[in-house]
Structure 1
């Protein structure tokens, strides 16, 4: 039996206590200020205590609580620097590890799913997990054919825990809102809830990973480990070493940061074009930077439990609207946004105002190369979050159609990671190569004709 459902009452109590803890610390902060401490010092101490409690609870609970914490972790770049420090340390812990489940529970799952003689499938099996995530943990092993493998074992009762946690978190989403300026927390939690069943299905995950592994098999830039075996609650894939992106963020050289950022952007935009799938969980714990003799570094990609199925690649209206915005064609941009449902029929906006809202956001696509920084991310968040700003007023009138919800979150999350890396990236190159509509069709046809002529010559 799992310890997760048995402790449902405890889990709910811990989550329900979080808002009370926030209120208690606010009272504590007021007392400190009355006692003579400055608002700045008290605010910093308050944020640090809040961060420590919030992410300690989320990490301990695994399930939906940790999934929510990981989703938030990529947005810490948007926090003001005096607040970001305490959160950064707490959030980073969620990207790589969580308290492990007992060895007896792991063996019980393996025996139930692989058979009583499960141990004979492995030459070696490490009982201590190498990584733990929201719904399962990974053990390093050697498969019976000699391959090093990662054995992903799902926590018994993970589904119930996910749904319970996310339901509880949604009840005080407004209190969590101030964690990330300019971000609406409730839709994020709703989307995580909607994808619970998909993420729990290791069969779907195996299919998505196998499709990527096959497509990227000979790719010089991206490595996706092959699927070795899959059954309910257990997924065995080839093992890959490398430096977790969370470590590159904290300790990597600028060369590593830039290379990781470029490859991350390349994978984000090339994946849907090449596989019809969008890897939709881009927190740093799911990526590795691997040394490569020819190209210096490759990007290892893990965890395909959450994907967006895009048979035609990323929707062409994204590329069209980006291109027209960069061209300053306000009327065409506005017309396209209306057609796609970003502006509801009952709303009437000034096209030039919409253009002014969009241009700062797409600045990285306007230049040959762009350095993503926490400062830039904070400036964007502050611009949209400030209730007095025109951007905030306009942003509240825009709509995010369901078909674009996951694409939007993945893009924002990836930009958040690029800002954590402080990477200089040639984003425009990736957009021109992989994003439908970004290059005008006439230009694309001319390039194709030139390539054909070169081959014929």
Structure 2
């Protein structure tokens, strides 16, 4: 959640759209999630029937896969909380699905992100009473009624601490934790369905890993710990600023306020070519430098979390989603990326198999793998690489084609749980750089911060 504009916030006295009792909202989400296995059973029965009357097995499987994926994305697109986060994390597989299937899901999901209703200020005060005590105004001597930002599990208000510092106060919605945990229990139902859409992926361990990481986002103590580590790791960096945590409880996090003049989202919309290149490079350097300096990867590359500061600096907020990497990014990543840049695909195939990306018994054509990995490899080949929407669209369309070279390849590659947030962040980072249209020294960034790449 960033300190950006929140849009039109709820006024006092207006009934918030989320004022419905929490059990009602959780039951409604559970009911929508429950429709997924029912639909799956129906499609599977139809598929078996069609095979019995002579329809080729592969054609039936493809139809079941596509219809199953369509229902998954349609239902997830209507949900919030844990189910929406599951959909967000699984969106790393969007490129493997036909654009006409994904676009309605993406549009719905974007609308949900942009329209999270704010919590009334009276409820915010009740949270402070419970978390900080009835004399909380002795610490937080000023507080803006209007939230500065709102998201799926909480919102941010601007205030002033008793020592005079301006602060950002992040408040978790009452009941958000219970709703998320309910969603996560229901999400276990989806594992079997994703196994149909992506048969080479071990989905249950992936879903378990995601659930564990989403639960961490509810723990503001963990977020404060991660934010403090990043603040210390980048304290001497002249280009990057991380706000310092001031205090926290389980559901309230107070940080120093970071005055900004915009965000990467605004640079994407109206930035000059020079701004796009400059902030694109800082964005990439921050993502890759984090694991080396802090032992963590900031795993939410949403443009709104990256703030434009005076002096052409980049500020970074929201440390709820991080991948904890005590040894930094895995050295094997850099080694295999270097092998791919050098067109040594026997080494790449062997390494991916050892890391669990290729399950035992899955044979792989090196030329197909070369084509599939191109979005990750091509920027690393050049001293300067220009990212663009056109380039990203071309890569996605090529991978999404219903052929051996596209969808057939995607459905045979597993994603080990330990790489879930790394993959999400790298894929999301490439998307942000492409939206920026940035020309960046991506290869130099990798040589600086990706272990094994320059060795």
TM-score normalised per structure 2: 0.76
Q: Distance in 2 between matches of 1:284 and 1:74?
A: 16
Q: Distance in 2 between matches of 1:69 and 1:340?
A: 25
1:439 is displaced (CA, Å) by 0.6
In the alignment, which residue of structure 2 is the partner of 1:230? 248
1:198 is displaced (CA, Å) by 1.0
In the alignment, which residue of structure 2 is the partner of 1:205? 223
Q: Please list, as runs of the form range in 1=range in 2, the aligned pairs for 1:368-407 lying within 5 A after superposition.
A: 368-407=383-422
Q: Distance in 1 between matches of 2:417 and 2:29?
A: 31
Distance 1:189 1:302, change over 3 A: farther
Q: Distance in 2 between matches of 1:185 and 1:380?
A: 24
1:82 is displaced (CA, Å) by 9.2
1:132 is displaced (CA, Å) by 0.9
In the alignment, which residue of structure 2 is the partner of 1:344? 359
Q: Please list, as runs of the form range in 1=range in 2, the aligned pairs for 1:21-40 lying within 5 A after superposition.
A: none
Unmatched 5+ stretches in structure 1: 21-49, 178-182, 441-457
1:175 is displaced (CA, Å) by 9.8
Q: Distance in 2 between matches of 1:134 and 1:362?
A: 34
Query: What secondary structure does 2:254 align onto?
Result: strand
Q: Distance in 1 between matches of 2:414 and 2:86?
A: 23
1:241 is displaced (CA, Å) by 2.5
Q: Distance in 1 between matches of 2:439 and 2:180?
A: 37
- Aligned residue pairs total 403
Distance 1:298 1:237, change over 3 A: same
1:157 is displaced (CA, Å) by 1.4
The one of 241, 248, 253 equivalent to 2:267 is: 248
1:339 is displaced (CA, Å) by 2.2
Q: Which moved more, 1:224-233 or 1:75-84?
A: 75-84
* Contact 1:5-1:157 at 8 Å conserved across structures: no
The one of 405, 414, 418 equivalent to 2:429 is: 414
Q: Distance in 2 between matches of 1:77 and 1:299?
A: 29
Q: Distance in 1 between matches of 2:374 and 2:23?
A: 48
* Contact 2:26-2:183 at 8 Å conserved across structures: no
Distance 1:260 1:394, change over 3 A: same
In the alignment, which residue of structure 2 is the partner of 1:455? none
Q: Distance in 2 between matches of 1:270 and 1:367?
A: 20
The one of 296, 306, 323 equivalent to 1:287 is: 306
1:257 is displaced (CA, Å) by 2.0
The one of 130, 140, 159 equivalent to 2:177 is: 159
In the alignment, which residue of structure 1 is the partner of 2:42? none
- The answer to whether 1:117 aligns with 2:135 is yes
* Contact 1:384-1:391 at 8 Å conserved across structures: yes
The one of 138, 155, 162 equivalent to 2:156 is: 138
* Contact 1:166-1:189 at 8 Å conserved across structures: no
Q: CA RMSD in A?
A: 3.7
1:260 is displaced (CA, Å) by 2.0
TM-score normalised per structure 1: 0.76
Q: Please list, as runs of the form range in 1=range in 2, the aligned pairs for 1:41-120 lying within 5 A after superposition.
A: 57-58=78-79, 61=80, 63-68=81-86, 94=112, 98-120=116-138
* Contact 1:357-1:391 at 8 Å conserved across structures: yes
Distance 1:96 1:424, change over 3 A: farther
1:404 is displaced (CA, Å) by 1.6
